[in-house]
Structure 1
Amino acid sequence: MFDSTKECAEKLDAQDKLAAFREEFYLKPGSIYMDGNSLGLLSKRAETTLMEVITDWKEQGIDGWTQGKYPWFSLSEQLGEMMAPLVGGSPEEVIVTGSTTVNLHQLVSTFYEPSGTRTKILADELTFPSDIYALQSQLRTRGYDPDEHLVCVKSRDGRFLEEEDIIEAMTDEVALIVLPTVLYRSGQVLDMERLTTEAHKRGIIIGFDGCHSIGAIPHQFSDWGVDFAYWCNYKHLNGGPGAVGGLYVNKKHFGTLPGLAGWFSSTKEKQFDMEHTLTPAHTAGAYQIGTPHVLSLAPLIGSLELFKEAGIERIRTKSLRINRYLMDLLNAELKEYGFTLGSHTDDKRRGSHVSLEHKEAARICKALKKEGIIPDFRAPNIIRLAPVALYTSYSEVWEVVQALKKIMSEKLYEQFKNEREVVA
């Protein structure tokens, strides 16, 4: 029988092998942060490495590009090497550069090669809107009508996607597939290995948006044969607001000219020759475009040190356990209040957040904030709660559910309007 007592939560905290990592983060007193899947918290090490890079700028000036503790000229490659174990790629297949949407534009420009009747891009109707905007604009620049040439796989229930439906849509008209690793609303994990295998059987290149999975679940992009991937680093990897993003390109594609070239696409040895003929790097570095945003790279140095110490497998183990605990608590304490669980209960199909659905979701989120709890709202009716393995305790999860119970039983949400804020 499930134990919903506070004592059980405290016992789980005592057994938590990652508990010490809480001390690495700035946790606001009197507040419980449950929105790390939107913006991760600042770690002390990320702050330290940011200040070290600022010191290099202060003391070295332009020589910071090649001198100092973290020479800026090779920093994107250094971080790619640190990030490679999190995505299951070799160091040369990963580069920290650009932003999610810029990297998507780069990768589609590079790998979308319509030919004959094979002209369509396959995506899905539950993906993040920015990806759809980028795919639509890429089609328009090639002279194609997005209404006809962007195929979005339908969801059967508005929450989840079925791999069978995606595979069925892999017709001989599809030139490129772009899918999320984890659905941003429900937290469903797609079977990336299976989808990649099926795409390649049909001669289709496939890439993934890893924004909601990198730093939360293990990946094996190279072993699975994934062609490319891209992601942000400000969510689970705690790189800070506007952190530089990342991309992966399978080494079998090295030598493919970048669709959007820039001087940081160059091989390092040739970059400052200033020739008007690009000699692209023979690594994922070829898919950089412009000068890296050094001060937005710097916090990732410290953050990725923490991930190396914690280990992505241990992070995933705790994430699954603490999210299971959250779902069990919700089921035990909130049955009578009209909530519906909008996430998979199967561990293999669930990412690192729990989606709770309620018709008063926007008002409930505002009430939670008043109680010192930071959730995330997604229109029209989703409360996303994200216990983060490195800094969320089981006792905090218990407190969140008790606060929800109080809000519902005392109808504290009724003092708020049921509409989102400007930033949800």
Structure 2
Amino acid sequence: MSLTQSIENAKKFDEKDPLAKFRREFYLNPNRIYMDGNSLGLLSKKAESSLLQSLEDWKHHGIDGWTDGQQPWFYMAENLGGMTSTLIGAHSSETMTTGSITTNLHQMLATFFKPSGKKTKILADSLTFPSDIYAIQSQLELHGLSPDTHLIQVTSQDGRTLLEDDIIEAIDETVALILLPSVLYRSGQLLDIEKLTKAAHDKGAIIGFDLAHSIGAIPHKLHEWKVDFAVWCTYKYLNSGPGGVGGLFVHKDHLGRRPGLAGWFSSKKDVQFDMSHTLTHAETAGAYQIGTPHIFSMAPLIGSLELMNDAGIESIRAKSLSLTRFLMELVQENLIEDGFVITNPSEDDRRGGHVCLEHDDAARICKALKQQGVIPDFRSPNVIRLAPIALYSSYVDVYHVVEILKTIMREKTYQQFSNKRNVIA
């Protein structure tokens, strides 16, 4: 037995873990090992408390909760934007908690995609999450442009990852806007955001990123890198809860630009209740809000971000890399002979927050894992994603997941299940 394989080694890692104390801040099921925090993060006690506080504000203040509550609703989106900015290397004025990831993407495309002359195309990739492509296609159609000819999708050479040089090569004089994931949702590849942003600007294109699989797991320097815009969800690594309100970033250089999709909450705060039919939009990222904030879907994020900022994004990243490295080593030592292939990048600077395993029987293996108390994530057609989360996963958890996988494979218990995904995978 190697040192990596031993449960004793896992326990030593946990004993030395500076973030171990945060584990008790979360509601963990003692009969389960949760490895799906890259799809939906777990509830923390602080998130529960901040949600209950907004309910108390409603209970005691009624409509005056907008200004007089302990967590005033009228300023909640801006306050949460400020708390989020530290995680992405942004100014508070550049960051806003609002909408959903897809509505925010529509807002960014409506604001920044201005086809003219030769520049009439949007560049994306062939591995990105479908929702991003749906939004791009619909925005092109709103401009009277065919997605068949005006959407460029850079292909993958291996079907799993992208080469930054291939993306850069595809940026020609016809590309007006580029939208890419920071981390690919299947393989967990982390793209070089700084390199891609510089290349886009050198070629006269606007560039934005979907941070769904990196925010809360990986430090960013969006302002310094001069990224034009970004969007994200908050229910994964930020642990805001199912349907938690999303967020957006707009670089300071673009603040003051009129929102493509205007709404009442696009207004400057001090004139919003003048009720004018002429919009005076905010000079901050607040301009890109549309409708009234969804308070009870935002409130848990207050407590969650307090925890995140207390832990520190650099420390979170360091533990995440260590956990995923430990998991990959265990898989390599114990499961390769069973047909598993690790398809996420092994290098720390190219890997996001989850480990991607491919197996021909992935769907039925995930069902067998759940039967044994491990919560994984399946992605069609053959991907098992395992995400040990820095704030609540332990090295012992990771060790036990691999041991359970070994038992499932050796005893072939997965064969009792169909190799088809459930309705929600």
Q: Does 1:403 align with 2:379?
A: no
Q: Is the 8 A contact 2:319 2:390 kept in 1?
A: yes
CA distance in 1, matches of 2:274, 2:4: 67
Partner of 1:282: 283
CA distance in 2, matches of 1:418, 1:45: 39
Q: Does 1:118 align with 2:101?
A: no
Q: TM-score scaled by structure 2?
A: 0.99
CA distance in 2, matches of 1:324, 1:353: 10
CA distance in 1, matches of 2:60, 2:302: 20
CA distance in 2, matches of 1:335, 1:121: 40
CA distance in 2, matches of 1:385, 1:2: 22
Task: Give, as a single letter, the amino acid of the residue that structure 2 aligns with 1:286.
Answer: A
Q: Does 1:206 align with 2:196?
A: no
Deviation at 1:2, TM superposition (A): 4.5
Partner of 1:310: 311
Gaps of 5+ in 2: none
Partner of 1:85: 86
CA distance in 1, matches of 2:250, 2:229: 5
Cα deviation code 1:251-293 (max 9, x no counterpart): 1001111000001000001100000000000000000000000
CA distance in 1, matches of 2:86, 2:180: 21
Cα deviation code 1:343-380 (max 9, x no counterpart): 00000000000000000000000000000000000000
CA distance in 2, matches of 1:393, 1:174: 45
Partner of 1:379: 380
Task: Give, as a single letter, the amino acid of the residue that structure 1 aligns with 2:138.
Answer: S
CA distance in 2, matches of 1:386, 1:199: 31
Q: Is the 8 A contact 2:40 2:242 kept in 1?
A: yes
Alignment of 1:4-153 (within 5 A): 4-153=5-154
SS in 2 for 1:402: helix
Q: Does 1:327 align with 2:335?
A: no
CA distance in 1, matches of 2:214, 2:68: 34
Partner of 2:155: 154
SS in 2 for 1:301: helix
Task: Give, as a single letter, the amino acid of the residue that structure 2 aligns with 1:152.
Answer: Q
CA distance in 1, matches of 2:29, 2:177: 44
Deviation at 1:3, TM superposition (A): 2.5
Deviation at 1:29, TM superposition (A): 1.4
Cα deviation code 1:20-52 (max 9, x no counterpart): 000000001110000000000000000000000
Q: Is the 8 A contact 2:255 2:284 kept in 1?
A: yes
CA distance in 2, matches of 1:141, 1:73: 32
SS in 1 for 2:302: helix
Deviation at 1:310, TM superposition (A): 0.2
CA distance in 2, matches of 1:273, 1:285: 17
Partner of 2:179: 178
Q: TM-score scaled by structure 1?
A: 1.00
CA distance in 1, matches of 2:197, 2:356: 27
CA distance in 2, matches of 1:269, 1:278: 12
Q: Which runs of 4+ in 1 moved over 4 A?
A: none
CA distance in 2, matches of 1:313, 1:236: 14
CA distance in 2, matches of 1:96, 1:229: 12
Deviation at 1:68, TM superposition (A): 1.1
Q: Is the 8 A contact 1:26 1:44 kept in 2?
A: yes
Partner of 1:3: 4
Q: Is the 8 A contact 1:188 1:344 kept in 2?
A: yes
Task: Give, as a single letter, the amino acid of the residue that structure 1 aligns with 2:297.
Answer: S
CA distance in 2, matches of 1:120, 1:223: 26
Partner of 1:216: 217
CA distance in 1, matches of 2:424, 2:224: 38
CA distance in 2, matches of 1:320, 1:255: 38
CA distance in 2, matches of 1:2, 1:37: 28
CA distance in 1, matches of 2:69, 2:344: 46
Deviation at 1:140, TM superposition (A): 0.4
Q: Is the 8 A contact 1:139 1:145 kept in 2?
A: yes
Q: Does 1:421 align with 2:422?
A: yes
Partner of 2:354: 353
Task: Give, as a single letter, the amino acid of the residue that structure 2 aligns with 1:160.
Answer: T
SS in 1 for 2:420: coil
**Count of paired positions:** 424
Partner of 2:341: 340
CA distance in 2, matches of 1:65, 1:336: 59
Task: Give, as a single letter, the amino acid of the residue that structure 1 aligns with 2:273.
Answer: F
SS in 2 for 1:207: strand
Q: Is the 8 A contact 1:39 1:238 kept in 2?
A: yes
Task: Give, as a single letter, the amino acid of the residue that structure 2 aligns with 1:103.
Answer: N
Q: Is the 8 A contact 2:3 2:9 kept in 1?
A: no
CA distance in 2, matches of 1:118, 1:312: 38
SS in 2 for 1:175: strand
Task: Give, as a single letter, the amino acid of the residue that structure 2 aligns with 1:260.
Answer: L
CA distance in 2, matches of 1:335, 1:105: 42
Q: Is the 8 A contact 1:2 1:328 kept in 2?
A: no
Cα deviation code 1:160-206 (max 9, x no counterpart): 00000000010000000000000000000000000000000011000
Partner of 2:259: 258
Gaps of 5+ in 1: none
Identity of matched residues, %? 62
SS in 1 for 2:4: coil
SS in 2 for 1:268: coil
